[in-house]
Amino acid sequence: MIDSWAWAPLLFLSIDRLFRQASLGWCLIGIFSAAMSVLAGHPQCVYFTALMAAIYCVALWPFFSVRLPQIGAFICVAIAPVFLSAAQLLPGMAVASECTRTGNADFFFSSSFSFPPESIMRLVADRFFGSGFGHGQPWTGRSFEHETACFIGITALMLALIGFMQGERRLRWTSTVMILFSGVLSLGHYTPVFEVAYRWIPGIAYFRIPARLVFYSTLFAALLVGKGADVILKPPNGSAFRRYAPVAFSVLLIIACAGIGLACGSTVDLTSLALPICVGILLAILFVFINGRRPWVARTVLLLGVAELSLYVHTNRTLLPTDFFDDAGLALFASEHLGDFRVLDSPGFTSTRQVKHPIPNLLGSDPIKLSRYIEFMEAIGYPEDAKDEEVLRKLNRSLARLARGSYYIQHGRATPEFIELGEPYPRFYFVRDYRVLPKQEVLPALTDSAFDPRTTVLLEREPVPLPVVNTHASENDELAIVDSSTDHFTLKIALAEPAILINTDAYSEGWRVVPVQPGPQPSYEVMPAFYALRAIPLAAGHHVIRLEYSPLAFRVGVWVSLISWILFLLAVLACLIRYVRQSGKRSESYSVCT
């Protein structure tokens, strides 16, 4: 998220400059910042940034006379990043069509982890609801602590108020619109506004955690803070800032009353308000003395703001000892059990366990989950919302072994318990019997206790070439893995009769087979086997093939991105040449004048 959000200020700056005047340079900067935000790899942040950029354009529009060249520049900033990032964007969109989040999520999911209204107190007192890290009161707030972080400090808050009151009309309007729009949307299901946005703003229903929109509120608050800092460094007159002393006291009174009110009936840490109140009182005193003859007073105010933020950063460093995730039982298990198998963790423990003991897992903890595989895991008896006490009772061990599951790790105790599921299936094996079933009938047939996946594969269409059915594996059948990585296998295969090669990894449409050497068949096909795994029909003979993840969207996207980046760099070069020539002409004009 941080990698994607880091480019947002530059994008908003380029929009601001393009409204003032159409410029190739600022157009290229806007295109570059948007493309880099996409390439950072967090779709939600990209979408939220695009949404807020559109709102920013609407907010700025009344203040400028927008002409055709500027409209063209905005269109380029909106479209060109898609081409520059096509190598990542196109395959991402392709795999999204196979994932569990395909299509709009329901309102409950989209509005989950909304920003609780009371968390506004964390603007000035980050640990008002405690903290899950370090010492002191544990976290008692609603939602996750990191999702509701919005601290800017009492100094920055006062500078933002000064910037709002002293800034020009355009700054006040655009900042207010952006802060209110992102802030109200971030409240999610706590207001009816998000439901309207869910129904009418395209794309917002694809994501959850609206609390992340608070980032844009703090971003535009920072713009007001900068204006406020500029104002106090260059005060218009000696008494201009005396009026802000009672404003500061009023803000402190509101904060104190809100803190006391929230303390009634809930667990909060009122001591966390001590620092912002003390700093606020000091600010009120300093505001009385700010004038052009005492520049050190304004600098002291800015130093207070820097000190607040530095203290916040220092106290929120998440430093864990190197042995925090060590577990003697897991370490011993990993050292004694070597081989190509997977484990299944108690619900909620996979990501924690994989930090120091990355044993392959049947489900994993990645947010991108293939729909077929998740349904397969549900058939195993391990849905996404699995309960620890129900897993062993419902677990289909035969299907777990088909996906190379060998152990169930029971966490939540002093030492983890390792429950053996049986001998896992190999990563690759041959079958010659098959049954073709409609997609919706495969999983019910797979859970039939009489079905044997070792000898028969369930397919959704006829394989080509057809295997010789009712025959057993021949002694002449050979398979060797020449090399492999996370996204490819190079295989040497020898078959006496046609067969179907089963790969017990998850099926996705992006997998394909290409011959490394000419073989007995002109082309190969990767088919879904057992609903969620892979099957490759093979003719008799010797094959040297490469099974690789190489979706068409990626191959097309690479070429689109390559051509787009060449054109982009040529445009940058043209812009630089033009700038150098104009600089040279200005230098010549200056020499003539002198």
pLDDT range class, residue 267, cuts 50, 70, 90: confident
As a three-state string, the secondary structure of 510-577 is: CEEEEECCCCCCCCCCCEEECCCEEEEEECCEEEEEEEEECCHHHHHHHHHHHHHHHHHHHHHHHHHH
Tokens at residue 115, please? Answer: 């920003």
Whether a cis peptide bond, with omega within 30° of 0, leads into 69 is no
Residue with token string 């109200």: 184
- Residue 342, beta-bridge partner list: 405
What mean pLDDT do residues 277-298 have? 84
pLDDT, greater one: 573 or 366 = 573
CA-closest candidate to residue 100, choices 334, 329, 383, 313: 383
Q: What is the pLDDT of residue 554?
A: 94
Confidence (pLDDT) at 583: 76
**Model confidence over 35-78: pLDDT tens digits?**
999 999 888 999 999 999 999 999 999 999 888 999 999 999 99
- State the average pLDDT over residues 458-484: 85
pLDDT tens per residue across span 74-113: 999 999 999 999 999 999 888 888 887 776 678 888 889 9
Residue 451 pLDDT exceeds 70: yes
Taking residues 504-515, report their average pLDDT.
94
Reported confidence tier of residue 482, pLDDT bands at 50, 70, 90: very high
Residue 334: band (very low, low, confident or very high) from pLDDT cuts 50, 70, 90: confident
Single out the residue of 423, 338, 347 nearest to residue 383, CA to CA: 347
pLDDT tens, position by position, 460-469: 999 999 998 7
Place of tokens 């309207």: 196
User: pLDDT higher for 587 or 42?
Assistant: 42
What is the model's pLDDT at position 134? Answer: 61
> Nearest 5°: phi and psi at 490?
-105, 120
Portion of the chain with pLDDT greater than 90, in percent = 54
State the Cα–Cα distance between residues 255 and 280, nearest whole angstrom: 11
Q: Distance between CA atoms of 78 and 30, rounded to whole angstroms?
A: 9
Domain boundaries, the chain: 2-315, 328-420, 428-550
Most confident of 211-215, 231-235, 473-477: 211-215
Q: Is the pLDDT of residue 135 over 80?
A: no
Q: How many residues does the chain have?
A: 594
What is the pTM assigned to this prediction? Answer: 0.86
